[in-house]
Structure 1
């Protein structure tokens, strides 16, 4: 079945961050410079404007706000965006499909139909997907955690429902590095007890007095954390941006290329006796994998109604090519305008094996592999293959904001108006 949806709406939104290092604070609106107070142990003076119309500290914000630095994120050794979110208070993240296709919600709201129906997941202030609960196509699948990430901001409830679309529960914003700090890193890692080889790199530096660049990414290959006998992890991403600052603001051009494949980790059969769930002999839910080099091709129909042979071991394969422009300009007399634009060409495929029962003992015949045609006596279960092609999940997003600051006797009054336009396509086969 193939469906297409599109949405257009309006909102006023802005994204800002403060980067803490060596006891100092440095504020950025997705990368632009501003001043901030010295950091304290709880980062209460960090400037956060995700889900607000203007920058404010965590202490002064009326929203429920959490932020997490890259060092903290990497210390937890997450394998997916969902695992990062488990460390955020008030969020519930279920890695029910492996590295992607997770179920995410906030405290007080249910996980409905999978995905992230009540939460908007963003990269640098714009949605990854306009809706969070597309079947087999969730926004967390297109986010890969590596050293290109600067930090994470999460707003739970409050203004999230009015300053972002499809987000009554909150906004989750993954904010990228932009070369503000000169230098970088290269890391090569090898799994201990599992087959994975991974390379991460990032580097930023000035091109001139007012122009800087950043580039980084990651690449990996191997079986993954569960033994499968096949190379089910391969690919990665590369991201970069160029920022030019001038007296009244800045402009930034950015790009992202993602082509990554990871194994799906769906539920496994278990036994239920007297209302208690137990392990079936030989099938450990913590380690079991349905991947095998002996799977025969799964024949499906593509969007043109033609037969296509697919590999069950491909798991979750996501592709994304995006370009973006971000700018902020002070017009004088208290006026300022900002624009955040991105086009993303998203596609991929979700393939996974899902057990339909707990199995039964009997006599069978091997269908493939080195024992093809030979008898098999033992436990076997029926399985369903989820095999969905993400033909098109591209979107075009534009967030424009106009603000005016009035100087009053008792302080300052800032008014903001915004226009948010989006077009989201979805084609599944």
Structure 2
């Protein structure tokens, strides 16, 4: 096995005695880790095994954020956990295959097996494939509770599409940073992914030709692939649907759906997940037009990042009867207060040209000391501005400061967030 962060000693953890020791550990507590490790070594356990099980315990605690209670019986690598799909999102991926009538799925580049687990939990037969032996071993353990799932060593480029009805891919979209011992950089060009987007497109075509992916000889098969959220729209394959997904305000992925998994006539969509549920936005009816630019109204709206990435700002503007403050900035403004899952709303309290001296006087006069600072289209950095303002000295009143351009000039909008709807 190739060792990396979170993999040292993993072979020993996979032995029955190592697994038993891992399962016997109490819930991970950073403060208790050192004395616990000392006690385990005093009890005769090898230092390498003790370090390995404590690393796994720490990763399990961190993994609860993505996998909930499932994390307590999983194995992880540090990189695998960081890159893994959150289980609720993986379930949405799996549901799309199931709803299209797909009963068997190959997860190519499966990582630690998050998407494969979700598919197996929905009773799909799952073949999880990865090119890294350590990762395959980890995925094998994580898939053990599911009778219809198995993991094996392999590469997407060599996969036979006829083995399953559907294919899921999560191509590697990072490479090691040049000249650095650790760290990586995001890849912008989808042809630099591993596998590249052209290979993904070819797999979808061959899956359709195999007749196992619910497609015809001239149709793509049932394939889904993660892309980088910043992918250029011109690079999206024809006849597919790419959906940008945000999780509680954070854009996590763009997924390209082929063949029967794509919504007819929809090339781009957004899925916004918040405490109120999952909300889908796609072009409706007439072709979307860019919103017009106008004066600041009584309300300001900050569209969700998935909406912006999907190029659907005009759809939200139409729903809000809104306009932009500047053609190049994705803030919307309207005279109406309307609740939407696709944008955060603010009531405008005041607006002024940007000036540190004038802003300081305003905050002091209105006793505004608890500030949320947002920016778009300006070089001013919120953290730097906060250090210069030292707002806590002004009082205990709250406000949101929005730094942006209006009519090409730098301005500060003083606003208050709209109250959240019940359940949000």
The TM-score, its normalising length taken from structure 1, stands at: 0.22
Looking at CA atoms only, which structure, 1 or 2, has the larger radius of gyration? Answer: 2
Q: Which has the higher helix share?
A: 2
Q: Which has the higher strand share?
A: 1
